[in-house]
Structure formats: C-alpha cells, structure tokens
Structure 1
C-alpha cells in the first residue's frame, strides 16, 4: 500500500503542463517504467499486524502507534517505518547488493522494531490477513479516506476495506535487468506468482472466521477490479512497457490530487481523461497526475523502474528469508530461471487455485518442489538451514497457513493471535 521508492535512482520532478492526448500519457509511462541495467539489487518491504498483547481484539489507535514509532532508534538497516490504513506497521528497506545483505538488514530492523513495540505490550504479527478483528481504518490520511469512498462508489467497499486494513505482505523489489531481457523477466515474475502464492500462503482466516482459502489476502485482492489489481501482461507479453501503459490507460481514475486526494466516484478510464472525453478538476491530466495514478494501481507485479513483486503473504520471521531468497534466485540466477520457467508453465495463470488450495493442488506442488529445490542448491551458508526447512515443508505439501490453522484449531483464534503477538511458540 505504501509508495516509498526503494530503488537507488530517483526521478526528476514531473511537469505540471497538461498532456494533450492518451498517446502522450502512454509515452510518459513507457519511458519511465523500467530501467536498463544489470540485476542484483534487492529491496524488501514487510508489513506486520499490530496487536495488543493483553486484548488482541483491540486495534491500537493512530496516536499509540505513532507514539511507539517516535521511540524507535535509527534502524541499522536503514528501513523507513510507515503505518498502513488499518494500523499494520511496515518496514521499507533500501536497495542492497544481493539478497543476503537485504535479508540481514531487514532482520536487524525487524528486531529493533519488535523490541520497541514489545516495551508497550504491543506485538507485530506476520500474517497475510488479520484473522481476528473486523476491518477498520485508523490511519487518518486523506488519501486513505478518499480510497474508501472510491471503493464504496464502485461497489467494492467490503473488499476495499479488507484490502486496506486487514491484509499484509512481504514485498520484494528487484532490478528490471537488461533491456533485451525485460519481456522474459516480466513474464517469469508473473509465471512465478501462483507457485509462490501457494508456497507463502499464510492467511486462512479473516475477521474471526476460516475463509476456505489458504491465502485470503489474495482472495481479497482478487475481489477488487481486475483493471486495477489484475496482472498487467498483454496477449504476448513481448513489450512490458507497452503492456503497462495500456493497463494504466484502461484503469479507472481513483483519485485526483488537487493537492488533496479527491475520489472519482464515476468510472473514468485514465484514457478518457487524457483525451479530454472527461475532464476532472476541470482540466486534462499532467505528468504529475499520471505518476499519482500509477501509485493507485496494484497489480501483482508492478514496474516502477524496478519490479515490485507484490503477491507474497506476510510470513513468520523463520520463513520469509527463505521465501525471499527463493524468489530472487529464480529471477536473477540464469540457470535457476530456466528451471523456474519450465516448472511454472503448467500453472502460470492459476492465481485463484493457488490462493484457495495452495500446495494441495498437485501441479502447483510439483512446480513448487522444483522451484525451491533449485533455489536451495544455490543457498549461501547462512541460509542453508532455512532453505532445507522450506524444501521439507513444500515437499510435505504444507504452507504457513496450515501451521497457523493448526494453532487456531488447537487453541482458538484469539489465543493463537495473542501467543504470536507475545512471540510464543
């Protein structure tokens, strides 16, 4: 949900002149969406639900959260701390050279943040969806209030509220890579989606009830309009920049920055605003409007100069390093990428099946086993144990959602959440 840039490169300030046509918008988007260069940099973003250890049904207030954050010392890994609409706390790390450095930095920052919240009897729980509390916004930001009104007007108010206030993820940011490899790299990032969702699924409950899905987070996102949250690939996937421009022009305008965020409650594709078919705020869009519109699009793989991989559930601290290493290795190591491309081909579009059944689906399980084994063979010494555990879990057909479900069945959902908030096994 946050729009913090984790790439080392910064864009120049966008112009404020109105654009004359959709073709001008497409050109601007295509020119900015991917950066030509080598692979190797990795940035991580991790969201955690915040619970009161003594009363897990209570949602900590905005003032409580910001008061705790004010006590956090400078983080050793350089992460930024932000608060999601429902009070989930996110760490957004800078880019590092290599997965190991990114994992070590994020782990160090997670430890400092965890201790600061624990001193206030608050626990940061890594789950893909809030399993206990109903959706409720605590972040007073005008952008989030405007987003609520947009979702309500588009008849997706329930899913929109759940997405904003009840879901959490591990986001992996990687380089776009050399220009001549963009198409294959973006296709693979998408093809890996269902397999990695099945591996990382960790949200079997929402608002106190089992949903019937291993990744309820993915289910929630799929209930929003596909023009804003679906995959961006076109028919061939041969030109990612063109695909992204078409996607953005087709997507309805959510908010107009005037400079306050104002919701657009009618269905207005950005192309209609750009071509003057519909004027918003009495004008056509500027480059700044285009860039702001892109921050309101949430596909599972989003190009922002680099690639944001957005489809992983938030998973426990003993799991996410191995999942991150697996995903980055399958994208950045040429031999592993070949294995992944072949393994994921039969399930490359099985997004819903992955979220609902996960590794209970035989084809997804076969793909997952091949992928994690390929990554494990390339694990550095410090990640060997974590990768061995992930391989064993996948071979057994289990994901983190299964472990959490067992905990809930054994202890009840409130007790299970409370124990996780306290760091108890």
Structure 2
C-alpha cells in the first residue's frame, strides 16, 4: 500500500547532519487522519501435502492468472512463498476491511482452483524455513543475517512468518508525539489479542506469538521500537534510529547492479560522514531511502504510520482486530481512554508474545479495549467484533485454538484440515 511517493535523487549526501534532516523531513506527513490501508499475508500450502512448499514458478504462474481484484490490492510473493495482498488506502476502517475482504475472497478462490490453500497463522507451524523467492534483495538479506549471527531467526522471519499490517495517516503535526506513543503502547495488548503462532517448523516454541519471538531475536537497532526516553519528537527519533542502524544492503553500481550485503557493522551515519566507504563511495539520497526500507521496527514512519506487530489471524477475526486498532488510534475519546488502559503494559512486548492474555494485566487491558471498540463498531462488523469480544473475555487468543487442534490431530493433520475447511 502506498500513501505517498518519495522523490529520489542520485545526489551525494554531505554528511550525517543532512541525512538526519532528510529522514526527519520525510518521516510523517502533516494532515488529517482517517485513511486506512491494509496488508495481509498468508502462508501458501498444499492441502494434499502440507509439508511441501510451493515453488516460485508455481506461485508466480498463479498470480499471473489472477483476475483484477475488486478492491484494488496488489499481490506479491514473500521470500518463503507466502502471498501478500496490499490494498490502497480507503476512507476509514470499515471501507478498507470491506475492500480487503473482497480481494481475499477472490485470491482464496483462485488459490484453491490451483490446488493450493491459504493458511492464516503468524508462523508456519510445520515446514522448516526455506526461501523460494529468488530476488537478489532476499539473497543478500540472508547473507547479512548469517554474517551478523542471526541467520536462524533471520531465515525464519523472511520465510516462515505472516502478519496483518495496518497503515494509518500520521494526522496533524501537533498530535504526532501522542499518536506515535499510543501506537507503540497498544502493541503488547494487541499482540496478546492477536497471537496466532504457537508453533514454528514443527515444534511448540513456548510462545503464543512465535512470530514476535523471532522478531525479538533480531538486531534491536533494526527491529526494536523507535521510541526514545523522551519520545516528544517522532521525526527526530526516527532520524536518530535510522542513522544508528547498521547498513544492511547497498545497491551496487556498475555493469552488474544489484543488492550487496554489508557484512560488517557500519552505522549509516558512519557511511554518510565518510568514516567508512561502501561500494567504494559515499552514500546518495537514494541509498538513504533504500536503507530505510531495511529497517523493521514494530511501528515504522513512512509519511504515514505502518503498524507491523500483529500476527496473521483467521478470516473470522482479522476485521475485528483491524477495527479495534484503528478505532483506538483514530477515535479521539477512545484514544484518550486507551492510552490510560494500556499504560501498565505498554512495554510488555515479550510477555505479551509469550503468555498472551494469561497475564492478568494484559487480560484487563485487552478486555476493556475490545469492549470499547465493539461499542463503536458498525453493524457490518458486529459478527467479527462479537467473536473477538467473546474470545478475549475467555482469556484466549487464536494461538490457543490452533494449539488445541495440533495436539488432537498432529501438526500436519491440523494444517491439512484447516486448509480444507474441515475444522
């Protein structure tokens, strides 16, 4: 999903100070709020052989044969073969949900026609990590993670995880700090509500959101929250974060261009100031913009706010989870109340991913937040909001349901039955 286009130039940067100004200036767009864009990933599996990972040509042929999607989403293949729908921005959560629901229905039908199925889990519960997308960016990312000592979680992140991503307007400038703080503070509570990945590569991990566990094992300079101790100026915070983060990839110049991994720890600021040269040169503005695409915090400024901390969840629940997050951020009164509700667990990222609503503080926060969103939901979302409210009231998350299925039927049996609609 794209809210805006950043103009790029090949002009060299004069140093880290100019780089910081560029990042801060392009971090958030001053304006109203209300638009919502959704990006939803799902694992692609073979119901007849759940351990098989469909190949690149098989998936690209499927996508090439797709009819136009009614909601205007683009379809892409993630490194491990998951399919992602990226929708255009819509006015409000209900419109965005309706458009994405229509697109997912078409995609699911075409996937099934090809003899495959979509699996809505935050992590692949059965297959070991393996990349099928041959893109040079992903090959280079693999080498970077291996060199940095995070090869195992890096491979799992790229090829075995799936998420629901929500994009919302940044809103008026004078409210940025409060809005960004709340987007982060909601994270642990909503991770606990949406946790849907108790297994990874055939094993129970001991975490309800193994997807969040994997992200937590990666470099915090690249994947940790952007907030600082003061968090009063999100644009400056993002610039500081981006310049401290090590460079992952460089677009190589010359007759054979492509992405090259940086196998040493080189903060972008050092490259910009000429303390280190990569590809034998100083960085350009285009290099800086590319560097920003390799940073994966749970809330990422991209002129709008990109909320990245939710597991992929079943079709029956994701509309309610999306509506809850957007309502708690965009509805003025709900936002004020939500900020107070989630304050006691605002930094409990790992706890939420491990035990979900089994923690009493997270349970209380989730119950109140979901009840508040349900009271504001339109009739079109009454059914999914009712299901979500009931689940949360029982202290359960989607991961609990899948874990129960896996214990009863085995992992392969649970995956196969889910994709065939038998459970």
Q: Is the 8 A contact 1:339 1:370 kept in 2?
A: no
In 2, Cα distance between equivalents of 1:389 and 1:73: 32
Cα distance in 2 between the residues matched to 1:51 and 1:389: 26
Determine whether 1:10 maps to 2:39: no
TM-score by length of 1: 0.98
Q: Tell me the equivalent position of 1:144.
A: 138
Q: Residue in 2 aligned with 1:348? A: 346
Aligned-pair distance for 1:424? 2.6
Q: Is the 8 A contact 1:322 1:390 kept in 2?
A: yes
Instruction: Give me the whole-angstrom Cα distance separating, in 2, the residues matched to 1:414 and 1:389.
Output: 26
SS of alignment partner, residue 38 of structure 2: strand
Secondary structure of 1:198 counterpart: helix
Which residue of structure 2 lines up, in the alignment, with residue 38 of structure 1?
A: 32
Q: Distance in 1 between matches of 2:404 and 2:49?
A: 21
**Partner residue, 1:23:** 17
Residue of 304, 311, 314 corresponding to 1:313: 311
Alpha-carbon distance in 1 for matches of 2:155, 2:126: 15
Task: Indicate which of 90, 93, 98 corresponds to 1:99.
Answer: 93
Q: Which residue of 1 aligns with 2:411?
A: 413
Separation in structure 2 between the aligned mates of residue 411 and residue 332 of structure 1, nearest angstrom: 42
Matched, 1:289 2:283: no
Mapped contact 1:34–1:241 kept (Cα < 8 A): yes
**For the residues of structure 2 that align with 1:424 and 1:308, how far apart are their CA atoms?**
35
Residue 60 (structure 1) shift: 0.3
What is the CA–CA distance in structure 2 between the aligned matches of 1:48 and 1:385, rounded to whole Å?
A: 22
Match of 2:269 in 1: 271
CA distance in 2, matches of 1:415, 1:389: 25
Q: Which residue of 2 aligns with 1:383?
A: 381
Superposed displacement of residue 202, structure 1: 0.1
- Secondary structure of 2:383 counterpart: helix
The 5 A counterparts of 1:46-195 are 46-195=40-189
Residue 208 of structure 2 aligns to a residue whose secondary structure is coil
Work out the CA distance in 1 between the residues paired with 2:365 and 2:111: 39
In structure 2, the partner of 1:329 is 327
Q: How much does 1:319 deviate?
A: 0.4
User: How many matched pairs?
Assistant: 419
Partners of 1:323 and 1:424 lie apart in 2 by 24
- Tell me by how many angstroms 1:423 deviates: 2.6
Shift of 1:16: 0.8
| 1:172 and 1:309 in contact (8 A); partners too | yes
State whether residues 339 and 374 of structure 1, in contact with CA within 8 Å, keep that contact through their aligned partners in structure 2: no
CA distance in 2 between counterparts of 1:324 and 1:248 reads: 28
Specify which of 207, 216, 225 is matched with residue 213 of structure 1. 207
SS in 2 for 1:357: helix
1:419 deviates by 1.4
Q: Structure 2 stretches of 5 or more lacking a match? A: none
CA-CA distance at 1:235 after TM superposition: 1.1
Deviation, structure 1 residue 420:
1.6
Q: CA deviation at 1:6?
A: 2.3
Cα distance, 1:421 vs. partner? 1.6
TM-score, normalised with respect to structure 2 = 0.98
In structure 1, what is the Cα distance between the partners aligned to 2:105 and 2:368?
32
Cα drift, residue 306 of structure 1: 0.3
CA-to-partner distance for each residue in 1:167-193, whole Å, 9 max, x for gaps? 000000000000000000000000000
**SS where residue 302 of structure 1 aligns?**
strand
Instruction: Classify the secondary structure of the residue corresponding to 1:407.
Output: helix
Equivalences for 1:388-403 in 2 at 5 Å? Answer: 388-403=386-401
Q: Which of 203, 219, 242 is residue 197 of structure 2 equivalent to?
A: 203
5+ residue gaps, structure 1 = none
Q: Residue 6 of structure 1 contacts residue 173 of structure 1 at CA under 8 Å; is this kept in 2?
A: no
Q: 1:424, 1:293 → 2: CA distance?
A: 44
For 1:363, the equivalent position in structure 2 comes to: 361
Q: Partner of 1:301 in structure 2?
A: 299
d(CA) in 1 for partners of 2:283, 2:103:
39
Partner of 1:423: 421
TM-fit CA distance, 1:286? 0.8
Give the secondary structure class of the aligned counterpart of 1:377.
helix
